């Protein structure tokens, strides 16, 4: 049994597939061709940024995607997607997102969300303002809660 690939000529009449010539931008740089195996743009639901459990970050998060925090983050978070605070995570700062799941610890206010869910291991030390709120048995919270009200403009 051979462990290498033998080079055999293609059968007569078979055409060789050639790669298309690279597209060039006006500045002379080659532009990469999009891969047909994966979509060019990911949808909002599939984009997620993760702060790993062994990371500590201080700053500000803003954007349109989803964020999952498993480590420590200090600063304000404002995302148009969902925010998940894992059970081992600690977040200190003001939070605003479309959907928020707290399984870890949040020290700060939730300024606005369509949906907030406190998992049994979750703890919030701050005020919550949301369209709907789900609290599991065992979750802890210290602060004021305002949910279910719609503001008239």
Q: Tell me the C-alpha distance between 118 and 6, whole Å.
A: 61
Q: Tell me the C-alpha distance between 20 and 140, whole Å.
A: 60
Domain boundaries, the chain: 44-142
Per-residue pLDDT of the chain (153 residues; tens, 9 = 90+): 455 555 555 556 555 554 445 444 455 555 555 444 444 444 445 688 999 999 999 999 999 999 999 999 999 999 999 999 999 999 999 999 999 999 999 999 999 899 999 999 999 999 999 999 999 999 999 999 999 887 654
- What does the pLDDT read at residue 38? 44
């Amino acid at each position: 049994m051979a462990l290498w690939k033998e080079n055999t000529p293609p059968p007569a009449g078979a055409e060789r597939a050639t790669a298309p010539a690279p597209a060039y931008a006006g500045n002379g740089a080659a532009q990469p061709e999009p891969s047909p195996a994966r979509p060019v743009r990911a949808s909002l639901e599939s984009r997620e940024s993760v702060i790993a459990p062994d990371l500590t970050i201080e700053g500000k998060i803003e954007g349109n995607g989803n964020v999952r925090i498993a480590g420590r983050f200090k600063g304000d978070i404002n995302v148009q997607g969902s925010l998940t605070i894992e059970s081992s995570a600690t977040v200190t700062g003001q939070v605003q997102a479309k959907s928020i799941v707290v399984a870890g610890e949040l020290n700060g206010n939730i300024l606005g969300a369509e949906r907030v869910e406190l998992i049994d291991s979750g703890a919030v030390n701050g005020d919550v303002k949301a369209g709907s709120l789900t609290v599991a048995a065992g979750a802890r919270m210290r602060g004021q809660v305002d949910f279910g009200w719609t503001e008239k403009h």
